[in-house]
Amino acid sequence: MGIDNSKTVTRRQFLRRGMIAAGAVSLPYYVPASAFGGGGTVAPSERIVMGGIGIGGRGSYDLGYMLTEPDVQWAAVCDVHGGRREAARNTVNNKYGNTDCAAYSDLRLLLAERTDIDAVLIATGDRWHALASILSMRAGKDVYCEKPACLTMAEGRAVAEAARRYGRVYQTGAQRLSEPNHVFGIEMARSGRLGRIHTVYADCRWRDGLRHDLLPAEPEPPKDELDWDIWLGPSPWRPYNSGYVNGGGWYHFYDFATDVAMWGAHTVAQALAGLDMSNVDSIEFEYDKPDATMVTRLSNGVKLVLFRVTGSVWEPCEYWHGACGERFEGPEGWVAAADGYSGPDVSSAELMREYKQVIGDYTARTQRPLNHVRDFFDCIRSRRATVANPEVMYRSMKICLAADICERLKRNLKFDLGKAEFIGDAEANRMRSRAMRVPYII
């Protein structure tokens, strides 16, 4: 249609021309349904905006898993390793078909600049878990943090206090608390179907102690490849050596890691979830010898066995045949679960007849999905506590870290669970915290 050059323009013509002109300027010819939340998608205004801190290794796995959630939008990633940082950014950009994902080498810049981010994934090395969680919650972010959530009891307490003070949702990555086989075992114990639980086993495959030596200095790589100062974070200053960085070498050094808590961060939480802990005020730790299973006795009479295997994590044992297992024993039978199971192990086939009922009762009572990541995102929306909330984390980590101290001191200890202090042992109490390197302090 050509332009009407006549001097007389009707009202209808005027309005029609105005609508066409406005549409040409302000609207695209096609608006995808996803922009409005149509076609099974979630509108951008309703999405949870995520950032990632420490996004290589386990973090890359978590990132891939979280990217599948339709109501989550990733906006930024952070890693001190340049290669990991770029790989994570490319993963996000490839998912969304754009180049919008920002990349940072310093988590403090991400937290300061990205006020649009609602929540963060923290999957750094263990030395950073507590401090990164606290800084993130201070910045108003909800937190999903990989385990172990802290290196010391003081750090664990500070994380729990930060979540309360700032009103943040926090989930620690003890994902087996949301997996059906483990939920079944926990619920069988919790509900009394096994009778009064007398013994619980937790798979704690600690090593023969952590190293305290120093590796020799090597030339530091350029900061855009690896920022060594930030990598160290709150840990003591150590000269750069690629042996710390490559292949998770830091995992074997006391400066950067824990011992019992590496596995116990999962399995002790699983064991405690099936017990009534409301009347437990103290725990006795029995030191035997370095290669022995550690027996602990809760003040309610339950024996919690921190089972130690020094071989492969998949090496069968008498209580389970996979990794990260737990086992509950009562007068009416026992049930166990571990990774790689098609179904739980039970003392009697009769117990398995209730499997669907037990899982159904759990989901109905708790209104939780059998999906740890989804539980976190659901709780961001509802603002209720996650299944692996700060108090669950802090309680299980106190027990793991107390076992670490018992192992180091090589003597029996008694621990007040509520006060988080050893009874009558000043040396053990001094080991509940570590010095943090300035400026990386709580």
- The answer to whether residue 343 is domain-embedded is yes
| Burial class, 161, CB count within 10 angstroms (exposed 0-12 / middle 13-18 / buried 19+) | middle
| Per-residue pLDDT at 205 | 75
Query: pLDDT for 199-244, tens place per residue?
Result: 999 998 766 678 999 999 999 999 999 999 999 999 999 999 999 9
Print the domain residue range for 397: 176-209+258-375+388-430
- The answer to whether residue 414 is domain-embedded is yes
Angstrom distance (rounded) from CA 397 to CA 388: 12
Instruction: Give the other-Cβ count within 10 Å of 21's Cβ.
Output: 10
Which residue from 252, 246, 248, 228 is spatially nearest to 238, judged by alpha carbons? 228
Tell me the pairing of strands 48-53 and 119-122.
parallel
Which residue from 275, 270, 224 is spatially nearest to 105, judged by alpha carbons? 224
| Per-residue pLDDT at 312 | 59
| Contact between 126 and 151 (Cβ < 8 Å) | yes
What tokens appear for 291 in the block? Answer: 């290669």
| Contact between 114 and 138 (Cβ < 8 Å) | no
| Per-residue pLDDT at 209 | 75
What tokens appear for 407 in the block? Answer: 């192992």
| E strand segments, 176-253 | 199-203
Q: Which residue has the tokens 């603002």?
A: 383
User: Mean pLDDT of residues grouped by 10 in the chain (442 residues)?
Assistant: 40 42 40 50 85 95 96 98 97 98 98 98 98 98 97 98 98 98 98 97 81 97 97 98 95 93 92 96 88 88 86 68 92 95 95 96 98 98 98 97 94 97 98 97 92
CATH of the domain at 404: 3.30.360
Angstrom distance (rounded) from CA 97 to CA 85: 18
- The answer to whether residue 243 is domain-embedded is no
- The answer to whether residue 109 is domain-embedded is no
- The answer to whether residue 75 is domain-embedded is no
Which residue from 409, 403, 425, 423 is spatially nearest to 148, judged by alpha carbons? 403
- The answer to whether residue 41 is domain-embedded is no
| Per-residue pLDDT at 288 | 80
Distances (CA, A) of 34 to 17, 45, 92, 220: 30, 11, 17, 46
What are the strands of the beta sheet with 199-203, ordered from one edge? 345-346, 333-337, 326-330, 199-203, 303-307, 294-298, 282-286, 413-416, 421-422
Angstrom distance (rounded) from CA 19 to CA 216: 73
Query: pLDDT for 144-164, tens place per residue?
Result: 999 999 999 999 999 999 999
| Per-residue pLDDT at 15 | 39
236 DSSP 8-state letter = P
- The answer to whether residue 368 is domain-embedded is yes
| Burial class, 67, CB count within 10 angstroms (exposed 0-12 / middle 13-18 / buried 19+) | middle
Angstrom distance (rounded) from CA 429 to CA 34: 56
Domain count for the chain: 1
- The answer to whether residue 63 is domain-embedded is no
Tell me the pairing of strands 282-286 and 294-298.
antiparallel
